[in-house]
Chain A
Amino acid sequence: MDESDQEQPTDDMSGLLVSVGLNRDVEAFEVLFRHYAPRVKAYMARLSRDGTAAEELMQETMMVVWNKAAQFEPSRGTVSTWIYTIARNVRVDVYRRTKRPEFDLNDPAFVQDDAAPADKAFEAFQEAERLRRAMAALPAEQLDLLKRSFYEDSSHSAIAEALSIPLGTVKSRIRLAFAKLRAALEER
């Protein structure tokens, strides 16, 4: 883990990204870039194992972040979640050569959530903090499986084969890890 920018709290990132959206703030974007670009590149590298492709996909992702910053809503979640979803979509577009099918919040057939939006921005920040702690407390083999299911293009049965452990064990470890993280997210 990169120690130098550990102190950068997530809500500062949120403020920076909002400023990029409102003011095309290049300085704020540079801070975001220096923090997230290596992470996005590492995420891409885990999938492609090709440094040039990973660099290219990272540049593409960060370009979308720059162009779509105005669409970021702090009330919907953290910057890392938002950038993760963009990186994932760039990857799907490139590797599957298709647009990822997604629901449309503005579609008249879309069923809205009744839950009243409270102070979601603060909540999202707190959630991220709880999640970080819960993740640090996960047993290594559970965290490893979680990473594999997010970063590698493989099903649970392919993961089981690669690690030579029973499919049932893969599924139950992932289920356990999820249950813990979900519990952390649902704490109030």
Chain B
Amino acid sequence: MSINHHISDELLLRYASGELAEGWSLAVATHLALCPSCRQRLSKMETIGGALLENISTGAASDDAWARMRRRMDKADVRVSQPMEDHRQAGRAEPILPEPLRSYLGGDIDSLKWRSLGMGAYQIPIRLADTSTIARLLRIPAGKPVPEHGHAGQELTLVLAGSFRDGSDVFARGDLEEADASLTHQPLASEGEDCICLAVTDAPLKFKSWLVRLIQPVLGI
């Protein structure tokens, strides 16, 4: 597998420093599971974070802080973790959805309950604790356009199966597209295989009218 569209420096830095909201982080972490080269970039950023920590100016640790630590250690000495074990099992089919995405959806692709979006497209909303973004899994029929989903802010799209074309760019498994409001785009699923992708957007603006709020979920995305 060769991935052509990677995580931008700014996005990766915000993930490395722990600033990225849950929805964006889900797309970034799932791309990282598929992309050794972005993991190397991440590890360099974390090394830089470690060096900054090492160089931070500080006073000495107080004896009081250490005494508190000792008390906690004595109390908690039962739940010691062991070295990580390798749970991979030989001969089992690889899931289509990597972690952490698979756990968010509660299973792999064939266990999912798709909801129709019309025009042969389907979606599954993904439950996030942090509601500043909206994440969903989309399934676009081969050869069909991605349904228009008017978003005003940023959008991240990670391809998991099949591929789509946006202008002259093709996005296949593992590829991540970063789009903002300035980009008008009309992605089109490639022929041959349905395109399954994770799409994350800023949460939609809250409409003032209770009536619009009521029908907004009916209108879908």
Question: Chain A residues in contact with chain B, CB under 8 A?
Answer: 1-2, 4, 10, 21, 24, 26, 29-30, 33-43, 55, 58-59, 62-63, 66-68, 70-71, 76-85, 87-89, 91-92, 96-98, 100-115, 127-128, 131-132, 135, 146-147, 149-151, 153-156, 171, 174-175, 178, 181-182, 185
Question: Which of B29, B56, B61 makes the CB contact (< 8 A) with A33?
Answer: B61
Shortest distance between the CB of A91 and any CB in chain B (Å): 6
Specify which chain A residues have a CB less than 8 angstroms from the CB of B85 in the assembled complex: 106
A104-B99, A135-B55 are known contacts. Are A68 and B81 too (CB-CB below 8 A)? yes
Question: What are 20 contact pairs spanning A and B, CB under 8 A?
Answer: A2-B60, A34-B66, A38-B60, A63-B76, A70-B83, A81-B46, A84-B53, A89-B18, A96-B22, A97-B130, A106-B85, A107-B33, A107-B102, A108-B92, A110-B34, A111-B35, A111-B174, A132-B54, A135-B51, A156-B10
Instruction: Verify A39–B56 contact, CB threshold 8 A.
Output: yes
Instruction: Verify A106–B86 contact, CB threshold 8 A.
Output: yes
Instruction: Verify B60–A81 contact, CB threshold 8 A.
Output: no
A77-B43, A81-B46 are known contacts. Are A98 and B84 too (CB-CB below 8 A)? no
CA distance A1 to B129 in the complex (A): 39
Specify which chain A residues have a CB less than 8 angstroms from the CB of B88 in the assembled complex: 106-108
Q: Does B69 interact with chain A (Cβ within 8 Å)?
A: yes
Q: Does B87 interact with chain A (Cβ within 8 Å)?
A: yes
Question: Which of A26, A39, A58, A111 makes the CB contact (< 8 A) with B54?
Answer: A39
Shortest distance between the CB of A11 and any CB in chain B (Å): 13
Instruction: Verify B50–A59 contact, CB threshold 8 A.
Output: no
Instruction: Verify A62–B53 contact, CB threshold 8 A.
Output: no
Other A-B pairs, 6, CB within 8 Å; known A89-B18, A131-B47, A151-B52: A63-B69, A81-B51, A96-B22, A109-B95, A150-B52, A178-B48
Instruction: Verify A80–B100 contact, CB threshold 8 A.
Output: no
CA distance A135 to B69 in the complex (A): 32
Shortest distance between the CB of A137 and any CB in chain B (Å): 13
Shortest distance between the CB of B30 and any CB in chain A (Å): 7
CA distance A37 to B81 in the complex (A): 21
Instruction: Verify B96–A109 contact, CB threshold 8 A.
Output: yes
Specify which chain B residues have a CB less than 8 angstroms from the CB of A182 in the assembled complex: 44
CA distance A26 to B95 in the complex (A): 42
Q: Does B58 interact with chain A (Cβ within 8 Å)?
A: yes
CA distance A63 to B78 in the complex (A): 13
Question: Which of A42, A85, A103 makes the CB contact (< 8 A) with B33?
Answer: A103
Question: Chain B residues in contact with chain A, CB under 8 A?
Answer: 1, 9-10, 13-14, 16-19, 21-22, 25-26, 28-30, 32-36, 39-40, 43-44, 46-61, 65-66, 68-69, 72-73, 76-77, 79-89, 92, 94-100, 102, 104, 128-130, 174
Nearest-neighbor residue (CB-CB) of B22 within chain A: A98
Shortest distance between the CB of B89 and any CB in chain A (Å): 7
Instruction: Verify B100–A103 contact, CB threshold 8 A.
Output: yes
Instruction: Verify A104–B57 contact, CB threshold 8 A.
Output: no
Specify which chain A residues have a CB less than 8 angstroms from the CB of B17 in the assembled complex: 88, 149-151
Shortest distance between the CB of A176 and any CB in chain B (Å): 12
Specify which chain B residues have a CB less than 8 angstroms from the CB of A39 in the assembled complex: 53-54, 56, 58
CA distance A134 to B118 in the complex (A): 55
CA distance A136 to B29 in the complex (A): 31
Nearest-neighbor residue (CB-CB) of B92 within chain A: A108
Specify which chain A residues have a CB less than 8 angstroms from the CB of B33 in the assembled complex: 103-104, 107, 109-111
A77-B46, A185-B47 are known contacts. Are A154 and B65 too (CB-CB below 8 A)? no
Specify which chain B residues have a CB less than 8 angstroms from the CB of A10 in the assembled complex: 54
Instruction: Verify B50–A77 contact, CB threshold 8 A.
Output: yes
A103-B99, A127-B47 are known contacts. Are A38 and B52 too (CB-CB below 8 A)? no
CA distance A107 to B25 in the complex (A): 18
